[in-house]
A and B are shown apart, each in its own frame.
Chain A
């Protein structure tokens, strides 16, 4: 890890926001279409599927960045320790939750991709019914709600962390304003994500 520590870490940070974070916003927004009924969702999904160079776009804008971010993220998470018991400060909790949510996302995203994208590649049509089927199991509803909240938290808090990491938020005042701003993002994006889950039930 030694020499390129700087570049590797900065790539990890950048990719978390662009493109992976942006993709999360697009993804949750498309899902939100389901609140207008199955037809609206199917239309939005088939528009996404109809994009030219779909596989290329997916690989470059989603799979590779998320793999790099995820794998290096696991490394970062396991070289950390937690001391919230001794130092129960707000930011220390966020630090811990950032790592826990990241590790949970490894499991969630793997499962989610298997169940949807890979299932589609193997022949199941990606549609409103596919999700409605998955959510006929209430454990899956719980799992998906946890997944959405973890992703939205990880992205919102990650955005704050990103801004510090790139020297955008430097003073305590700027960092505090950043905390409020990203908390608002968490609430708004969380609302979009969770509403979408319930639209399939």
Chain B
């Protein structure tokens, strides 16, 4: 196909239909937010990311004014990194798997307001990574010599632990949680579930008591109020509420050990 006919084809598709996006924008962290609408040429199978890319190519709003292209974050484009999480028609989810054909129009995009807004749809999810550090969401294998092969894990355990490992720290569960807010220091469901994951691992369990103590403290597990929104909205279907209930049990046992004294782990 020649360049000319390619352009003609695109031109005719543009006339065929457009999709309207209404984007909540903000020029910087401390700036006021405002809405701006864009019409993008419809293409088959497009998703919110490709619609945003279309706006970036031609950043003209519906009033015909040239404007700055809205900013957003993206990385994997296959819903495993969590970077492109945003509010799409009022629900927190990933832009890459939000297919235009399946969304109600006009499509409303907004940043997840649980997190500090950097610019437009870009938010700062540092608090989640800080929480992962606090709960030691890793397996301690670093040392000065080779520790050799680790212990084996039972398949029955691996099965459910694998589900928990799908967490991509996207922030959707925090956005939906009514107890994650400016009045509370609750770290949210995602890092709690990681405590269950790493405590389940035979080597990760070396930090088990420390992790439980951490979530028994400030902003920890007691911040949960059982609204269960997290498990409803998790894009990966992670059983977050089961994780929290299991940790409720584990922290109870831990508190008995702490209070009455018992074998240290």
Contact = CB atoms under 8 A, between A and B. Distances in A.
Contacts of B248: 164-167
Interface stretch (A3-11, A33-41, A123-131, A139-147): A3-11
B252 interface: yes
Interface in B208-247: 216-218, 220-222, 225-229, 231-233, 239, 241-242, 244-247
A164 B239 CA distance: 14
Interface stretch (B36-44, B56-64, B173-181): B173-181
A135 interface: no
A169 interface: yes
A5 to B, nearest CB: 5
A56 interface: no
Contacts of B250: 167
Contacts of A7: 255
Interface residues of B, number: 35
26 contacts: A2-B218, A5-B220, A6-B217, A6-B220, A6-B222, A6-B251, A8-B222, A9-B222, A76-B225, A78-B183, A79-B181, A80-B181, A91-B226, A91-B227, A92-B178, A92-B228, A92-B229, A95-B178, A164-B245, A166-B249, A167-B246, A167-B248, A169-B245, A170-B246, A172-B241, A172-B242
Secondary structure type dominating chain B contacts = helix
Contacts of A81: 178-179, 181, 183
A182 interface: no
Interface of A: 2-3, 5-10, 76, 78-83, 86-87, 89, 91-92, 94-96, 161, 164-172, 175
A173 to B, nearest CB: 10
B255 A6 contact: yes
A10 B227 contact: no
A52 to B, nearest CB: 33
A80 B225 contact: yes
Given A6-B217, A87-B229, 19 more contacts: A2-B217, A10-B222, A10-B252, A79-B184, A80-B179, A80-B225, A81-B178, A82-B178, A89-B232, A91-B228, A92-B227, A95-B226, A164-B248, A165-B226, A167-B249, A170-B245, A171-B245, A172-B242, A175-B245
Given A2-B217, A169-B245, A79 B227 contact: no
Interface string B79-93: 000000000001100
Nearest to A78: B183
